[in-house]
Amino acid sequence: MNYLNSKPINDGFYMPAEFSKHQATILIWPTRPGSWGKNPTDAQNAFCNVINTISENEVVYLLTLKEHNEQVKNIFNDNKNVVIFQIDSNDAWARDTAPTFVTNDKEVRGISWNFNAWGGDFDGLYADWEKDNALAKKLCDTLNCKCYNAEHFVLEGGSIHSDGEGTLLVTESCLLSKGRNPELTKTEIENILKEYLSINKVLWLPRGIYNDETNEHVDNVCSFIAPAEVVLAWTDNKNDPQYELSKACLDYLENTTDAQDRKIKVHKLPIPDNPICCSEDDCNAYEFEEGEDVRNVGDRLAASYVNFYFCNNTILLPQFGGENIESDKRAIDIMSRLCPNHKVVGIDSRAILQGGGNIHCITQQIPKGDF
């Protein structure tokens, strides 16, 4: 085990931007009935579309449980860019349970945070998260990648977003939630992020996406597409509960600067015009464990196009279909205009949304470099 107990203070390692070059992407095969249903076929098909698209641009490390190892090997047998590792997990949210990777532009290292299922005993989403919490260490060991021990601090990868130049986006609603690090002050939390990620300035957005069960991760509401340039989930409908949340974020961004003292250019990326809610059939498809958060008929899902993923020269953009076909097309048009050097690929991700997140939530990038 290449486990580093020292803090990465002033050692030259920093968290690069997601739009910088990757060597690989991590995903976890979805099987949990409480997220993906008693029959996870739709979710697995959506994951396959994500994996196959990413593998055209970079290597995919796909983690599976022992009982699904042969099934997954058979599916990706002909794809040489998909490497399968048998590593236990409780669910398939690689963004939050895989390591956060940092680099000195030559070597890549991982960070293992403390994962407690988005809130632990206070408001966590399932009762047993032991395998998820051990995943980052096991993967770094498998990759022979040095790993910083940050297990004194509860953090998920979806709650942070770096511009690669010293600025980090977070949300107050998540990082200051009582289920994360209630013994720490806002300043103490900020200092830990600065230490481990080599960040100079943390931008504290007040809120995230309405009804986001992660306490409103930043990766669902706001994302860097370039230094000093972000897309922000938006709606013009003042009667939509998302309006006040997005407006609060816009007001904040328009009145702050990044670590380089640059004003931040904000592009509005509208959420689907028609809210996506759990149907009776959706709810009947789940099989929840004791202590697991449940869904009810009519619950609004946290649908956002900001939950996209950069993989080298491609952007994987969520698509929801149904009543939101025009919204889907609008999102592709906006992202294609904002990121002309990237190919924007729409991925039908309604089945991923049903699990509680989207494309960004199920992926974790490894920047280019050596382990």
Residue carrying the six token digits 């990326």: 269
Categorize the per-residue pLDDT at 7 as very low, low, confident or very high, splitting at 50, 70 and 90. low
Closest to 209 measured CA to CA, from 195, 223, 198: 223
Tokens (6 digits) for 274: 């028609």
CA distance 306 to 331: 9
The pTM assigned to this predicted structure is: 0.97
- pLDDT per residue over 184-209, tens digit each? 999 999 999 999 999 999 999 999 99
Question: What percentage of residues in the chain have a pLDDT greater than 70?
Answer: 98
Q: Are 179 and 120 in contact (CB under 8 A)?
A: yes
At 352 the three-state DSSP class reads helix
CA distance 16 to 22: 10
- pLDDT per residue over 317-332, tens digit each? 999 999 999 999 999 9
DSSP-derived secondary structure letter, 58: S
Give pLDDT, residue 8. Answer: 64
Would you say residue 1 has pLDDT above 80? Answer: no
Tokens (6 digits) for 38: 């008693």
Categorize the per-residue pLDDT at 2 as very low, low, confident or very high, splitting at 50, 70 and 90. confident
- pLDDT per residue over 144-183, tens digit each? 999 999 999 999 999 999 999 999 999 999 999 999 999 9
Closest to 221 measured CA to CA, from 245, 204, 201, 202: 245
Give pLDDT, residue 9. Answer: 63
Residue carrying the six token digits 């699904």: 68
CATH of the domain at 305: 3.75.10.10
Give pLDDT, residue 4. Answer: 81
Give pLDDT, residue 286. Answer: 94
- pLDDT per residue over 99-153, tens digit each? 999 999 999 999 999 999 999 999 999 999 999 999 999 999 999 999 999 999 9
Residue 127 has a CB neighbour count (10 Å cut-off) of 14
What average pLDDT score do residues 265-284 get? 96
CA distance 260 to 355: 38
Give pLDDT, residue 359. Answer: 98
| Tally of domains in the chain | 1
CA 85 to chain centre: 20
CA distance 290 to 138: 27
Closest to 201 measured CA to CA, from 227, 180, 181: 227
Q: Are 140 and 146 in contact (CB under 8 A)?
A: yes
DSSP 77-95: TT-TTEEEEE---SS--HH
For the annotated catalytic residues, the residue numbers are: 361
- pLDDT per residue over 66-99, tens digit each? 999 999 999 999 999 999 999 999 999 999 999 9
Would you say residue 6 has pLDDT above 70? Answer: no
355, 368, 333, 94 alpha-carbon torsion, rounded to 10°: 0
Write out the residue range of the structural domain in which residue 195 sits.
3-367
